[in-house]
Amino acid sequence: MNILLFLLVVTGSALFWRADISPYFTPLAQRPCACDRCVFEDDSLFMQGFGKFAEPFLSVNHNLSEDNFNRWKNLLGERRNFSAYRETVKRMFQLVPARAHVEASSPDRCRTCAVVGNSGNLMKSNYRPLIDSQDVVIRMNRGRTKGFEADVGTKTTHHVMYPESAVGLDNTTRLVLFPFKIKDLHWVTKALSTGFSGRKSNFKANKDLVMVLNPAFIKYVHDEWLQKKGSYPSTGFMTLVLALNICDEVHVFGYGADSDGNWSHYFEKLKNKKLKTGAHPGGEEYKMILELAKHQILKFYTGWR
Ligand code: C5P
């Protein structure tokens, strides 16, 4: 009986106080994430026109329109047609997951990501703690950790590649395929199933952790983020924009040419002294990274120069 009375009093006073204060109490607008600052939360002039891309990854249910296919095809010089593309994608999804796994955003979570490019400026940087402490660590192409741990860290959750830049992965790392041609989609299916006849492949990755970039994303980055400069965006720049789409806080390492303007790597000596930034608009990309850092959309670590 006493307990009942106690509960009645507590509920009654709670209702009284709520009714009393509610006219003065406006709930705070819900934030998209729990970080100090969430990507795209800021609606400054600078970020206008850089909205989130709806479907950054291909899924079994997402059909690239023929129009978007043709735009991608023309940008990258693919020769084969839309039905060849559709057939290849269909076969690929008989092997790889129907939907790419992306941690969902939530007001009570802060998804932090490190994006690690391959620049020589990582040498002597001692960035290991800054990189390894992020939830997601994205590396790319021939980027490696063995022998460079103090500067580039040890953790890799995602590894971006295409056939020509592929490296074998352990069983827990997500393979993020960037498709530059239809053959690349065919490659991932073959490499992770039967292998290629006549040639023993020692390429290894977990087929259940494959994620495939939506081809339309490549065109989107070239058009919207780089105003169509250069032949097409670099893997590193696209990875960075991808991170802005799937993370709440983005930390960027390993970007920037050497003093001769070449995209040299931390893991090897530069052979081609006339490399510059290849077919990519490296200068524009770098300027954009600096702008994003200036507006605190991401954190840029320029390494050791
Ligand atoms: O050379 P690679 O393509 O493997 O490097 C990965 C990415 O890292 C590049 O696409 C580029 O965006 C970035 N990079 C850079 N400066 C370098 C080397 C690479 O910004 N010196």
Residue 280 among the catalytic residues: yes
CB of 230 sitting under 6 A from ligand 1: no
Give the residue, by CA position, lying nearest to ligand 1 atom 8: 117
- Which atom of ligand 1 sits closest to the CA of residue 120? 21
pLDDT at 289: 97
Exposed e or buried b per residue across 210-242, where buried means at least 16 C-beta atoms within 10 angstroms of its C-beta: bbbbbbbbbbbbbeebbeeebebbbbbbbbbbb
How many of the other CB atoms lie within 10 Å of CB of 167? 16
Q: Is the CB of 257 under 6 A from ligand 1?
A: yes
239 lines ligand 1 (CB under 6 A): no
In the set 232, 255, 266, 301, the catalytic residue is 232
Distance 177 CA to ligand 1 centre (A): 16
User: Would you write out the chain's pLDDT as a tens digit for each of its 305 residues?
Assistant: 565 555 555 555 544 444 444 445 555 678 999 999 999 886 677 777 788 899 999 999 988 999 999 999 999 999 999 999 999 999 999 999 999 999 999 999 999 999 999 999 999 999 999 999 999 999 999 999 999 999 999 999 999 999 999 999 999 999 999 999 999 999 999 999 988 775 656 799 999 999 999 999 999 999 999 999 999 999 999 999 999 999 999 999 999 999 999 999 999 999 999 999 999 999 999 999 999 999 999 999 999 76
Which of 201, 200, 202, 237 has its CA nearest to residue 220? 237
Instruction: Identify the residue whose C-alpha is closest to ligand 1 atom 18.
Output: 119
C-alpha 266 to ligand 1 mean position (Å) = 10
What distance in angstroms lies between residue 141's CA and the mean position of ligand 1's atoms?
Answer: 9
Mutate-to-test residue for ligand 1 from 255, 259, 267, 285, highest number of ligand atoms within 8 A of CB? 255
**Per-residue pLDDT tens over the stretch 50-64:** 888 999 999 999 889
As a whole number of Å, the CA-based R_g of the chain is: 23
Residue 85 appears among annotated catalytic residues: no
* Domains, the chain, with CATH or none: 38-100+111-301 (3.90.1480.20)
Alpha carbon distance 268, 205 (integer Å): 24
Structure confidence at residue 14 (pLDDT): 47
Cα 178 to averaged position of ligand 1 atoms, centre (Å): 15
Atom of ligand 1 nearest to the CA of 142: 4
Instruction: Give whole-number Cα distances, 147 to 66, 123, 171, 268, 284, in Å.
Output: 45, 11, 20, 12, 32
Does the beta carbon of 253 lie inside 6 Å of ligand 1?
no
- Atom from ligand 1 closest to the CA of residue 234: 10
Both tokens of residue 180? 């530059």
**In ligand 1, which atom is closest to the CA atom of 264?**
21
Q: Tell me, in angstroms, the distance from the centre of ligand 1 to residue 210's CA.
A: 22
